C-alpha cells in the first residue's frame, strides 16, 4: 500500500479497517501531513493482497475485537513506525536494493514511475497530499528517456515528414 497508494509511513500506520472501501477502490487517509485528509486510489493488486491479509492474517492477529487498526503486530495492536521501518529495511537489503530509506522509497518510486508514464504533476500532487506543487516536483524527476521521447514526438524539426 505504500507503493500502490503513495502513502507516507504515518499515513499507512494510521489507517483503520473502515478507511478502506473495496467497492470504490479507495483508501481514506484521515491523518495526512498537516492534518489534511484525502482519498487515494487503491490499486487492484494491492486490494487483492489487502483482502487476503484481512481474511487471514489480520483475523488471526486480533486480540481485542474493538481494535480498528488496519495493520496489526504480533501482539494484536497497531504496528509501530520502528517495526515497519525495520521490517521493510530488511526486505530491501534482502532484495539487494542499496538505496537508503525503507518506507519513503516506495512513495518516491511510485510518483517517479507514474510521472514517467505520463501522470500529470497536479494529479500526483493531489495523490501524494502535497500542499505545494514545488514539493511534488522534487519526487518526480523526469528521466532522460522521457525527455528524449517527448522531444522526438513534439519538436517541429523532428516531425516524420521533415526527416
**Choosing from 30, 33, 89, 146, which is the catalytic residue?**
33
Catalytic site includes residue 33? yes
**Choosing from 58, 108, 115, 130, which is the catalytic residue?**
130
**Choosing from 8, 58, 108, 115, which is the catalytic residue?**
8
**Choosing from 38, 83, 104, 146, which is the catalytic residue?**
104
**Choosing from 58, 107, 108, 115, which is the catalytic residue?**
107
**Choosing from 58, 108, 115, 139, which is the catalytic residue?**
139
Burial class (CB in 10 A: 0-12, 13-18, 19+), 45: exposed
Catalytic site includes residue 148? no
Catalytic site includes residue 107? yes
CB 115 within 8 A of CB 121: yes
Catalytic site includes residue 139? yes
Catalytic site includes residue 8? yes
- Catalytic amino acids? 8, 33, 104, 107, 130, 139
Amino acid at each position: 500500500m505504500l507503493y500502490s497508494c503513495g502513502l507516507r509511513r504515518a499515513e499507512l500506520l494510521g489507517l483503520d479497517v473502515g478507511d478502506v472501501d473495496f467497492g470504490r477502490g479507495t483508501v481514506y487517509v484521515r491523518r495526512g501531513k498537516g492534518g489534511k485528509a484525502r482519498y487515494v486510489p487503491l490499486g487492484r493488486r494491492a486490494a487483492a493482497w489487502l483482502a487476503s491479509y484481512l481474511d487471514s492474517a489480520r483475523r488471526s492477529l486480533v486480540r481485542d475485537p474493538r481494535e480498528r487498526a488496519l495493520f496489526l503486530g504480533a501482539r494484536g495492536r497497531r504496528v509501530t513506525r520502528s517495526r515497519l521501518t525495520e521490517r521493510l529495511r530488511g526486505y530491501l537489503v534482502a532484495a539487494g536494493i542499496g538505496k537508503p530509506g525503507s518506507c519513503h522509497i516506495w512513495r518516491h518510486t511510485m510518483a517517479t514511475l507514474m510521472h514517467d508514464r505520463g501522470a500529470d504533476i497536479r494529479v500526483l500532487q493531489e495523490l501524494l497530499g502535497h500542499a505545494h506543487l514545488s514539493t511534488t516536483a522534487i519526487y518526480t524527476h523526469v528521466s532522460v528517456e522521457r525527455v528524449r521521447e517527448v522531444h522526438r514526438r513534439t519538436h517541429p524539426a523532428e516531425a516524420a515528414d521533415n526527416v
